[in-house]
Structure formats: C-alpha cells, structure tokens
Amino acid sequence: MAEAPETPRKRTAYIALGSNLGDRIGWIEKACNEMDARGIKVKRTSSLWETEPMYVLDQDRFVNGACEVETTMEPLELLDALQDIENKLGRKKVIDKGPRNIDLDILLYDNLQVNHERLTIPHIGIPEREFVLRPLAELIPDKPIDPNRPWRLTADYLDALPPSKTPLTTMTPLSSHHPPIQALNPSRKTHVMAILNMTPDSFSDGGQNLPLPLDSNTITPSTTTTNGTTTDSTTDPSTALHHTITTLLDAGASMIDIGGQSTAPGTPEVPLAEELARVIPAIRLIRTRFPTTTTTTTTTTSSRPVLISVDTYRAAVASAAIEAGADIVNDVSGGSMDPAMLATVARLGATVCLMHMRGTPATMAGLAEYPAAEGGLIGGIARELVQRVRAAEEAGVRRWRIVLDPGLGFAKVGRQNVDVLRHLDELRAWPGLQGLPWLVGSSRKSFVGRVTGVPTPKERIWGTAATVAAAVQGGADVVRVHDVKEMAQVVAMADAIWRY
C-alpha cells in the first residue's frame, strides 16, 4: 500500500517591502495581494514608513514596511516567487539600490541561516537599516535576528542605531485621491470630518438631511440645514446634496462621514435594507458630483474630490458603500458587532476606523467600569483596542489600513470622557498601538453638556471647541464634528500651536 505524500511543512518568513516610484503604497499592496494569490500567505504586516533614500541619495523618498508570511516554499523557491512578482509588477533594475516601484527581500526564514550566491539569510543589511528594523520591530521586537547571537533581539538592534536626521513617520492611506495620514509627522495637519447623518433620530441632528430615493432623481420640495444655515431646496436631490457638501468643504471639512443608523443609547436598530436606503444614494450622489479625478467644467460636477467615510457596523453596508464610492469604513464597534466586518474590510482593501466600545449601543452605558487592577480607564481602552487591532490583522486587514478611535461616550460616562482626552497621548504611545492614527469624536456629546451645563446638543459649540483643541494637543489626526465652520477654525489655531 502506497504511503500518503508528506504534507509540506509550513514555514514563517519575514519579507521587506519597499517602493519609491509612482503609487508607492499601491505597489506594496499589489505585491502583498500577489503573495496571497500564490499561496505565500501574508499573516501580519507592519505599518508603512516613509524614509529618506539610503546609499543612492539622489532619488525620491521610500515607503518601507515588512510582512510576516506563511509558506511551504523553500528559501530559494520563495526568492524566485518574489522576484517573479517584482517582474510582473514591472520592476526594472537600472541602478543597484536605485529607484524602483517595488522591492521584496527575504529578511528572515524561520531560524535558518542561508549562505548562497543568490541569497543570504538573515539579510545582511538588517542591522544598519532603520527602514528595515523599525517595521520589523513592530512585528517581532523580542525575536533574535542572528541565531548565533540569540541574546540580541530585533528591538536591541533598533535601539543601537544613531538617531535619524529625519525622523520616520508612518503612512495610512485614505484613498487614491488624497495624501495619506502621517501620524508621526509633527507638522501634519488635522483632518476635519463632517458628520452627515441620514437618520431621523440622531441625538443631535436627526432628520436634518434630505431622504434620498435609491432609484429616483426627484423629491418633493423641502429644506435642509447645514452648520446653522437653512436652504430651500425645490430641485432634485443631487443639487441639494451638492450644496450641502460644497458648504461643508468651504467650511473646512476634508472628510464626510455618512451614517444611516443612530448609535445613541436606547435607539432601536434599523433593518439592513433601511440603512442601505439611507446611505448608499447619498454616497453615489456625492461621488457623482465630486468625482475622484478632475473633470471638464460643467454645471453638475466638481474637481474637488471628497473623502467619504461610511459610519456603519454592518459588513453588508460597508461593502455596498465602498462599491458606491466610499473610501473609509468607520465602525463604532471596532468590528465586533458583525463577525463578517473585518474580513469584508480586508477583502475590500479599504481603510477602517476601529472604535473602542463595549457591548452594543443599547448596553454600553452599563459597561463603563474600568478596575484599577486591570489598568484603569486608559489601560482598559488600550488593551481592548490592541485586541481589536489583532483581530483585524488576523482577518487580513493590513496594519497600515487601520485608524483608531477611543470612543468618547461609548462605554464611558461623564468625566471618564474628559480623562480620555487628557490622556490621549498615552493611548497613542501604548505598546501595540504606536504609529497608528487616531480619530476623536467629541462633538456635542452629553459629557460636554454636563460639564458646561448646556442641555441642548446644538448649543454645545463652545464646549465642543475645547474638546477639539484638546484632541489636537493630544495627537488626534481626525476630529469628527457637526459644526464644521467653527471647529475648522479651532483646528487651524490648534494646529498652529501644536503642529509645527
């Protein structure tokens, strides 16, 4: 009786990723997708880091990262596959260490040492290259690089390097038509995300925006209010929405967050079909009126591309929204309420904002205990966000596609929200969360009303302004607001003070 063939052994390898031509992040993502398609499973990725060129200095800045892969290929076979991917993606090597659209190098392969004329493992350049060590240290800080020196870990090699003349920064892509967030760049500008609630029951502005029919271009005359200005609309919905978005952009917004399900405590969940009917027409109309590429001048289009975020915890809504033209998925549950969400985001290749929340919007208010023995408020939020990041990575979401939100008002009550703002810098520096960008949504929330004594949400502008300034000081990359004109001015001033 013939013996069954031996199952190929799965090995773990670490691959360096680099590009400095064209759509640098896009090339790296294509390379990762190619590896997955060839059975070289990308298990985890580092952040992507923008770095100055090394060796050949007269070239553009690089984007560098690293990934952990699982493979049954032997080292030279893996090398052949990676080089074939480079060739498929059009790499042409003109100058050694010169410009290239994609660069894939084997850094480590299990604990093996390889000395071959084509391949050396561990990669000989690891100890001297910050652009390799920094992403590698995100993945395996406590792993030795050299099997002959097991006491010296990846983090030790990184710590031994002299300070960089130009500090490295991470890069989080938002879309093909906007520059990425550079969360460690001290002079970066803060994004203002405008809230566009397509719901009748939001605590602050429910029913304010037009209902848009899925398959119709006409509606009955109505009015819409944006940032305190009421406009009569007797035309088609695309004209009304165009006016609304133009007003938000003119006021200083760079992102529009569209939601069709209220997450206020005690609000019933709407059916999937209803949420889709609320948000998808709006996204389609915005993308039609504000295309991602410059168009010829007409009366119906604009050359001002808009970043569109969809505020949903349903995978089906996220998928339909991205297909309709949205760029970002903003999930208040951090991917926990719909088991399909994280895998869906991974498949879509979209950037996702993972917010900290416990339970559901209906139960979260009773889940606001953060025992000191478990790290207290900040430690609890950080630990649980690390778990959500890990879950996203396990589902296939690239680390460079993750944004975090501390979840003000979600499983946090009263002054707990003030404490989060006070300690946002600690969250940014927490092990496992470093280098990721942060979104903060404090606008008009009840804790602002309690502190200021203002019961009406729409009148909490001054209190919200203070929280927005605190968010910028603490390192937020995006602030989510209702009152765009006022908060954009606060952000401009706060950036001038703390971002330089």
Residues with catalytic roles: 445, 480
CB 136 within 8 A of CB 46: yes
**Which long-range contacts link 336-343 to residues 24+ away (Cβ below 8 Å)?**
336/388, 336/391, 337/313, 338/313, 338/314, 340/315, 340/316, 341/313, 341/314, 341/315, 342/391, 342/392, 342/395, 342/396, 342/397, 343/315, 343/395, 343/396
Instruction: State the Cα–Cα distance between residues 487 and 499, nearest whole angstrom.
Output: 16
Residue with token string 């109309």: 285
Distances (CA, A) of 293 to 248, 303, 305: 20, 7, 7
Say whether 343 sits in a helix, a strand or coil.
helix
Q: How far apart are CA 294 and CA 310, in angstroms?
A: 23
Q: Which two tokens stand for residue 372?
A: 């000191």
22, 63 in Cβ contact below 8 A?
A: no
Residue 325 token pair = 């033209």
Element (H, E) at 257: strand 255-259
In angstroms, the first-to-last Cα distance of the chain is 74
Radius of gyration of the chain (CA): 24
Q: Give, in order, the Cα–Cα distances in Å from 167 to each of 52, 184, 187, 238.
A: 9, 9, 12, 45
Three-state secondary structure call for residue 485: helix
Kindly state the helix (H) or strand (E) to which residue 104 belongs, with its residue range. strand 103-109
Distance, CA of 28 to CA of 39 (rounded, Å):
17
